[in-house]
Amino acid sequence: MDLHIFWFIALGILLAGYAVLDGFDLGVGILYPLAKTDNEKRLFLNSIGPFWDGNEVWLVTFGGALFAAFPDAYATAFSGFYLPFMMLLWALIFRAVSIEFRSKHDSLVWRGAWDWGFCFASSLATFLFGVAVGNCLRGIPVGDDKEFSGVLADLLNPYAISIGILAITTFAMHGSIFLYLKLEGEVKERIHKWLWHTFGCFVVCYIFCTIYTLVTIPHAIYNFEHHPWLWSIVILNVLAIGNIPRALFLGKPGYAFLSSSATLIAFTALFGVALFPNLITSSLNSEYSLNIYNASSSDKTLHLMKIIAFIGMPFVIAYTLIIYWVFRGKVKLGKFSY
Amino acid sequence: MTEFLATEILARLQFALTIMFHYLFPPLSIGLGLLLVIMEGIFIRTKNPIYEKITKFWVKIYAANFAMGVATGLVMEFQFGTNWATYSRFVGDIFGSALAAEGIFAFFLESGFLAILVFGWDRVSPKIHFLSTIMVALGSLFSAIWIVIANAWMQSPVGFHIIGEGLHRKAVIDDFWTMVFNPSSVRMLVHCVIGCWLMGAFFVMSISSYYILKKRHLEVAKKSFVIALILGFIGSVLAATSGHFLAERVSVTQPAKLAAMEGHYRTGTGGSPLYLFGIPNNKTETVDYGIKIPGGLSFLVHGNFTTPVVALDQFKKEDRPPVGITFQSYHLMIFLGIYMLTLTSFSLFLLKINKLFESKWMMKIFCVSILAPVIANQAGWVATEVGRQPWIVYGLLRTPDGLSKSVKSEQILISIIIFSIIYILLFITYIFVVNNKIKHGPDDLIQKLK
């Protein structure tokens, strides 16, 4: 396979892994206000306790791989989205330490502040991911020098904001199913109600954003016209979404979680198809777009990294499976919990 | 022009701020990680429950430290792209594969097994838990390997060729292993990891000596102290040795940096002196108020007292690093190294004659001596990085040429201000939380157990 296409797909896999895995723990953060008592809050936190850190590594590795495979796209995107990325970093820092520090001290103000920080930072980070995706789909002003030439306001357009909201509803739904799987008793029943609320919000946003994309971003379906088999992703996506309420209705939340994971994977795939072969689409002139050829590292580096990935990824998958297996089952608060 | 200058200063300031704050945590993760392996290893061997208690106590602190390392580390990875976009384009082909390897080989390993290390005590067998501890320690070591390789390449770039011109100039890799084993990487890595061990050792000794002074948790404290003291002593000896070999290599790969570290302005004809103290003066090109060993530098570099060492006068003014900061931070690191070596060897002697834990003075000194490796690690980084200036990639790319073209100085200013606020708050919180844990001590865990 063409090394450039290989790395485009590999980045997609890393991004999909991040969306599926960190998606549910960000979702737990978004839904965190549903936890009423201190005990419930700790249950929420500890449901993601052993996982969130490893989940975030998918993003770190995505960043590293983007840097390595397509340095120009990495440089343009990160310097162009300067303040949004900084805000994302602040949110992720805040979130990490909120989880870690919250239960370490017994005071209402202390815990209240970190609780608020955890929910806000999770929501903000999710929103900013959505905004970034929206802007990539829409295209940003990039000149012939490969540099971003716009201003911050260009990035906060209605389309990107819509995708940001879609991201929040998607992760909230994904997180609610995860919580439903992990919790027991009265709080579980409360989540059950919210499964349907979040699913409803998600479907509304999904339909709205799909129409919005089809109307305003014609180049998003360019690849579909030339490769009709790609429509199968859309069909799978719709089936996966449809299976969520079905599985919930049948009382099989495990399947619902798999379906919402499949939905996130399909979203990432559609995002990739809409972009391909571009990484950053220039809204000024399509010739200025950074694509997998003009923004990439040398074939030698791409080949080296392919070897690294083939050696490393089986280990990564093995660790992930081990961790999820060791910490399977319902959350229990113990002496080592947050 | 002033806008450009401001951007450069601010971007460098932001990098210094974020890396120095970040670099408080990973060295402790690496050093404490090794100590955890030793402590839990003794537990597995001897089945003595006191070592289980010791391990569990230090794991609690390790977890808080690890979270800080992860949170502040994310910033480092993204900052190359946000503030140093042109540099990223230049080095991406080389630097990128090291970063990607770090993510795949190191971060997944440590963050995955950290979950078992911290939360898995009741879920897996002791042996599997021990295995996880080893994996976490290895993971943090691997992350040091890849990032130091990337940095070492910036000090002594090899195994590449340059393509393109002007803004599109970039380095393209010729040989991966030549890049990995560039002249600086092994010596830098060894010295750096030993610095991390010292951090872990002095951290454990600092908290243990506090308990000993307060006469609390004596058994845990004394046993931890002894393990850490041995590591601290071995680390101090190795730090001096590896430091010497690293400086020797720097004299070959970056003679301007070595000259700046030593305040060596004039090459001359005879042996070059070694300054123990002094204030380098760029105007007169001499070291004011200096105490020197004649021929000392020649001896360290060439093994004799007469061959001159290349000095700053061999370099154009615009190619010289800032001498003052490089000289002072380098000397500070060396003095702290000597301090740690003296302290640990004297303490081993006291331990041998059973007087160490009775000496209130020694315990008080150890309480505050955690600052020694913290400052030494930071100073070492400053000497390495400031000494590389005015280059961001030595001899290839000047620092101002690596900046992001599309980022304005006020954007960086805003982000520096917010980073400073967040980091100050975080640091206070971190100290508060760790202090809380120390106050609670290891017995806390046992109480909850019942």
pLDDT under 50: residue ranges of chain A: none
pLDDT at A202: 92
Residue B348 burial (CB < 10 Å; 0-12/13-18/19+)? middle
Question: Which residues of chain B make contact with A86, given a CB cutoff of 8 A?
Answer: 82, 415, 418
Domain range holding A128? 3-326
Query: Rounded to a whole number, what is the distance in Å from the CA of A75 to chain B's nearest CA?
Result: 4
Q: At what angle do helices B2-22 and B49-83 cross, to 10 degrees?
A: 170
Minimal CA–CA distance to B402: which of B413, B415, B389, B414? B389
Would B256 be classed as within a structural domain? yes
Chain A contact for B422, CB < 8 A? yes
Strands B286-293 and B274-281: antiparallel
Region label for A255, one of left (φ > 0), alpha (ψ between -120 and 50) or beta (otherwise): alpha
Question: Are residues B71 and A97, on separate chains, in Cβ contact within 8 Å?
Answer: yes
* Rounded Cα distance, B305 and A42, in Å: 67
Q: Specify if B361 maps to a domain.
A: yes
In the prediction, which pLDDT does B448 show? 42
Give how far Cα A333 sits from Cα of A43, B224, B448, Å. 7, 29, 12
Smallest CA–CA distance, residue A323 to chain B, in Å, is 6
* Contact residues on chain A for B411, CB-CB shorter than 8 A: 82-83
On whether any CB of chain A is under 8 Å from the CB of B405, the answer is: yes
Strands B170-173 and B160-163: antiparallel
Assess if residue B274 is contained within a domain: no
| B62 is a domain residue | yes
Please enumerate in sequence order all residues whose Cβ is within 8 A of that of B101, keeping only pairs 6 or more positions apart, or say none: A308, A312, B146
Total of domains in chain A:
1
Residue A228 lies in a domain: yes
Q: Compute φ and ψ for A156, nearest 5 degrees.
A: -100, 60
Is A198 within a domain?
yes
B96 touches chain A (CB under 8 A): yes
Residues of chain B with pLDDT under 50: 1, 445-450
Q: Is residue A159 part of a domain?
A: yes
Chain A contact for B94, CB < 8 A? yes
pLDDT at res. B284: 83
| Contact predicate A125/A88, CB 8 Å | yes
pTM above 0.90, yes or no: no
8 Å CB contact of B426 and A93: yes
Asked if the C-beta of B420 comes within 8 angstroms of chain A's C-beta atoms, the answer is: no
Q: Which residues of A touch B416 (CB under 8 A)?
A: none
Cβ–Cβ pairs < 8 A, chains A and B? 240
User: Is the CB of B265 inside 8 Å of chain A's CB atoms?
Assistant: no
pLDDT of res. A230: 87
Rounded to two decimals, the ipTM of the complex is 0.82
| pLDDT of B383 | 92
Residues 302-321 of A with CB under 8 A from B: 304-305, 308-309, 312-313, 315-316, 319-320
Residue A331 lies in a domain: no
Which domain does B353 fall in, by range? 2-267+310-449
Q: How many domains does chain B have?
A: 1
Taking the CA of residue B63 and the nearest CA in chain A, the distance in Å comes to 8
Find, among B225, B394, B444, B370, the residue nearest to A336 by Cα.
B444
Check residue B446 and give its pLDDT.
41
The CATH number linked to A177 is 1.20.1630.10
Summarised one tens digit per residue, pLDDT across range A148-182 is 877 777 788 899 999 999 999 999 999 999 999 88
